[in-house]
Structure 1
Amino acid sequence: MNLESLSNELLLDLFEYLSVVHLLRAFRGLNVRFDTLLCTHFQVYGHLNFQSVSKHDFDIVCQQYLPSVIDRIISLRLSDDDDTPQQIDIFISYGFSLRQFIQLQTLSLYHLFSYETTMKIIEELHHLPYFTHLNFIDNHFLCDETDVEKMIDTIWSLPKLTRCHLYIDFHQNERLFPRLNTISSSLEYLSVEKFNFDLSKLDHLFQHTPHLRHLNVRLFDHSFDQQLSCSIPLMITLKLVIQNSLNHLVNLLQNLSNLCHLTVETLDIDLDGQQWEQIIIDHLPKLRIFQLKMHIKLEDNDDKQLKIDKLITSFRSPFWLDEHQWFVRCHCIEECCLNSILLYTLPYAFGYFDPIVKISSISTCPHENDYWSYNRVHSLIYRTPIIRESPLSKIGFPNIRRLCLSLPSNDHFWSVVTTLDQLISLNLALHDDDNDNNNHVRSQLQVVLDRAPHLYSLAFRSWSDLQMCLVDNRSLSVRWLDLQGYDENWSEERWFNDEQCTELSCSSLGIQCEVLLIRVEHRATILNLVNRMTSLRALSIKCRDDTFNGSSDRSSFTEDELVKWLKECLPSVSTIARHSVEFVRMWIR
């Protein structure tokens, strides 16, 4: 059976499993039938994702295919990450304007570093009649408060925007959300990261976003006299991180009478179950989902056991156990300088967990073995081997996607992290004492790699011997290598000479590597890496003989001796640009 013998319905089903890049390259222009099917597909699934694409594919799609389907794209994702550096500038250089994407509904921008480029993009969105969703993911800009205010106001003025995710770091000392001068008549879903709010800023946000229904914010406020000026009746979902102020927490919640879903993490706010019960009864009559995580600092003279007993007892009332069946688990943490209590509702509802060895545990669960599978944890730091006697040894993390791991570790790791089937990113710190231990570390690393079939990114943060990282270690899935690590003591940067880079390029991980982050002794090594590592498509590099000492002003990066030399030595299709004072990034294939 050949492909053309399949029915149109089956082909359209098949198209759903392929990226737009692969679809266009494989089927565009084959014949009238496939062109018609592609048009039908784009009317429903016009999602164009340029994240992690090769430069070759990006250039071909932009030059040959995108012009013919640009009016059918409903979702666009662009990224200036290390694997696609300068992608957005290249996209614009091809003559594309977002106003050409007349059906666009969703735009996601990853790892942008240019305020000016971002502003041009946002301003173009005003010309799109169906645009509703805007996502900024891990973006970093150097700009002043006036520029920040201008950007946020421009976003708020988008006439049909309903959902917005703002993960933007403006690198300012004062990271309070800016003052708004524009009222959004459409925005309903808002998630803000890297910005803090005090109560006055939050009140200002509510006044300028009157239709807000779902909100994710951080409230850090040290004042005593601030109050919200009005109720927020439309709000039904709130995800909140709040520090220090119990009064501000109560004041906020008493204005959310229709709230149905509350996820809250408190830092240094001492609240017990009776107080939470009273807040919910008095102010949150419609609350159905309550997800809590509290960090309570203990003083040296506190009776820890008495404190824990009183706290856990306060969550044993009929309100908690019978009416809502909201159970909690409480840990007393005693490690290094930490002396605190961690309490959270069950099942654990947060994406991150930091296991600590010296810990005691108690819960209000009717059965001791309930709720030990932390399914929602996607990021885990496993720094210290968890001993079997620790209460945390019962916890299982079956859905880890990002893992920080120190090796060697004991075998109990595998009873805590029961599977790595979903792992995509692994950060490693490798330690050794002797040659036998070196072999043990390499063996443990290989076991981890073997059990992670979807691992894409592998970062070595510290190591004592390059052999520990690369020799004999294999993975069928790893394509991203980060070797910008340190020595075992985290005191000196790791620099690779040409011999070590040759060893890297001949290793199994090096042969299949597509994205490489590394420090090298000499610039000639860069050319050798590009020539030897034939799968390599993107490179982020710090070179010891780089003479550049530019200021933080990105406009000064145009006169750059190393970048000029690389452009002369590498093919003209390569994109080479200074990313920071120290690093140069290249998109070569």
Structure 2
Amino acid sequence: MINGYQWEQIIRSYLFKLKVFELDMHDDIPTNQNIEDYMNQLLDSFQSSFWINEHQWFIHCYIVDRTIRLFTSSKFPSYYPEQKLPRIWKSTNPKDTQQDLYRSITMINENFFEQPMPSDICLSRIDYITIKFPLHDQIWSAISNFNCLHAVSVLSYSDAYQSELQSLFDRAPKLHYLNINQDYSLPLQTSLFKCIKPSIHSLICFKMNHCLNEEECLLFCDSPLGMQCQTGSFNVKNRHCIANLVKNMINLQALHIYCQEKLKENRVEVIEWLKDSLPSTCFVTKDPDSTNAIRIWM
């Protein structure tokens, strides 16, 4: 890695008019080398008068496993390798604290809380979260608020966890997007349709292996989520399910559908049937990115 002394020499010699310096470097350190000593040496090289007084270009550094990463404040990462928290974090700016690092985290996955959590961790800017049930206890203490959360992806859900999901909804005023990736072995968990969150406008059930039948489609249309949903993606049994969704989702603007009945050889026939059956304001077309999907716009 290029250290601070080397960068200083490069800038003084060739980039002396440089006004903005953005750095993001990382390296894997051999196991026979003391990684913390190496980290301290690197940080020391960025603490000369050139960095601290002349330019106020401050450097942050953290260690995850055997990887060391250096970056300027403007390059605060929002995603960490395998979502692992740094075991060591330091900065050349005396005003920086580890909370600055936590505030930079905006996205976490379902395994995030499986690692040891610092007692002072405070995640306040999470905008996307992937969850599985039951929710980890630390989700409520580590995430100080859900005010920035706009998207939730659910990897596993059963009716037993409706209250937990609703509790998450209640804490997220800006939640707009819900993605359900359901286990194929489970039947439809209808309590999902009973959850209430008026701000959700997009529901993606394309990766929910259960295919909705006509009765389930009507049940969804009559649910709070179904009545407010503007865009949706679903797996359904047949073309009549599609018609039910289009005609009964009162705020629907766009639909992405995988129809079990619709195999590759008869997709054109199904599309023509939909064009004849749906209101003339609907635009129906095959999905160019899939051999088996249909897109509908209202």
TM-score by length of 2: 0.81
After superposition, the Cα gap between the structure-2 partners of 1:549 and 1:476, relative to the gap in structure 1 and judged at 3 Å, is same
Kept in 1, the 8 Å contact 2:28–2:68? The answer is yes
Q: CA deviation at 1:539?
A: 1.0
Which of the numbers 242, 262, 266 marks the counterpart of 1:546? 262
Query: Hey, what does 1:406 align to over in structure 2?
Result: 131
Which of the numbers 4, 7, 13 marks the counterpart of 1:282? 13
Query: Hey, what does 1:445 align to over in structure 2?
Result: 165
Which of the numbers 94, 97, 101 marks the counterpart of 1:366? 94
After superposition, the Cα gap between the structure-2 partners of 1:346 and 1:537, relative to the gap in structure 1 and judged at 3 Å, is closer
Q: Does 1:455 align with 2:175?
A: yes
Partner of 2:189, secondary structure, is helix
The letter of the residue matching 2:131 is S
Q: Deviations over 1:388-430 (max 9, x none)?
A: 95459635343x4x40322344343345543333333332323
Kept in 2, the 8 Å contact 1:547–1:561? The answer is no
Looking at both structures, which has the greater relative contact order when contacts are Cα pairs under 8 Å and sequence separation is at least 6?
A: 2
Whole-angstrom distance in 1 between the partners of 2:150 and 2:84: 26
Whole-angstrom distance in 1 between the partners of 2:120 and 2:98: 14
The letter of the residue matching 1:474 is I
Query: Hey, what does 1:478 align to over in structure 2?
Result: 200
Q: Deviations over 1:260-295 (max 9, x none)?
A: xxxxxxxxxx33233333333233323333332223
Whole-angstrom distance in 1 between the partners of 2:107 and 2:287: 29
Whole-angstrom distance in 2 between the partners of 1:317 and 1:549: 70
Query: Hey, what does 1:467 align to over in structure 2?
Result: 189
Which of the numbers 42, 54, 60 marks the counterpart of 1:311? 42
Q: Does 1:577 align with 2:262?
A: no
Kept in 2, the 8 Å contact 1:442–1:468? The answer is no
> 1:40-439 counterparts in 2 under 5 A?
270-334=1-65, 339-346=66-73, 349-350=76-77, 352-354=78-80, 356-357=83-84, 359-364=86-91, 365-367=93-95, 369=97, 372=100, 379-386=106-113, 390=117, 394=121, 396-398=123-125, 400=126, 402-407=127-132, 408-430=134-156, 439=160
After superposition, the Cα gap between the structure-2 partners of 1:300 and 1:468, relative to the gap in structure 1 and judged at 3 Å, is farther
Query: Hey, what does 1:20 align to over in structure 2?
Result: none
Kept in 1, the 8 Å contact 2:157–2:189? The answer is no
After superposition, the Cα gap between the structure-2 partners of 1:387 and 1:584, relative to the gap in structure 1 and judged at 3 Å, is closer
Kept in 1, the 8 Å contact 2:89–2:98? The answer is no
> Which structure's CA Rg is the greater one?
1
**Gap regions ≥5 residues in structure 2:** none
Partner of 1:560, secondary structure, is helix
Q: Deviations over 1:491-543 (max 9, x none)?
A: xx443233432332232212221211111122221112223322223211011
Kept in 1, the 8 Å contact 2:231–2:253? The answer is yes
Aligned pairs, how many? 291
Partner of 2:166, secondary structure, is helix
The letter of the residue matching 2:269 is E
Query: Hey, what does 2:219 align to over in structure 1?
Result: 503
Kept in 2, the 8 Å contact 1:372–1:396? The answer is no
Whole-angstrom distance in 1 between the partners of 2:19 and 2:114: 37
Whole-angstrom distance in 2 between the partners of 1:281 and 1:469: 65
**Gap regions ≥5 residues in structure 1:** 1-269, 433-437, 487-492, 551-558
Q: Does 1:587 align with 2:297?
A: yes
Whole-angstrom distance in 1 between the partners of 2:14 and 2:211: 58
TM-score by length of 1: 0.44
Q: Does 1:561 align with 2:269?
A: yes
Whole-angstrom distance in 2 between the partners of 1:446 and 1:396: 20
Q: Deviations over 1:128-156 (max 9, x none)?
A: xxxxxxxxxxxxxxxxxxxxxxxxxxxxx
Query: Hey, what does 2:241 align to over in structure 1?
Result: 525
Whole-angstrom distance in 1 between the partners of 2:69 and 2:120: 17
After superposition, the Cα gap between the structure-2 partners of 1:428 and 1:568, relative to the gap in structure 1 and judged at 3 Å, is same
Percent identity of the aligned residues?
29
The letter of the residue matching 2:240 is A
After superposition, the Cα gap between the structure-2 partners of 1:447 and 1:468, relative to the gap in structure 1 and judged at 3 Å, is farther
Kept in 1, the 8 Å contact 2:131–2:152? The answer is no
Partner of 2:194, secondary structure, is coil
Q: CA deviation at 1:584?
A: 0.7
Whole-angstrom distance in 1 between the partners of 2:59 and 2:135: 30
Q: Deviations over 1:552-588 (max 9, x none)?
A: xxxxxxx811211111111222110112222111113
The letter of the residue matching 1:516 is G
Kept in 2, the 8 Å contact 1:372–1:394? The answer is no
Q: Deviations over 1:61-92 (max 9, x none)?
A: xxxxxxxxxxxxxxxxxxxxxxxxxxxxxxxx
Whole-angstrom distance in 2 between the partners of 1:457 and 1:366: 39
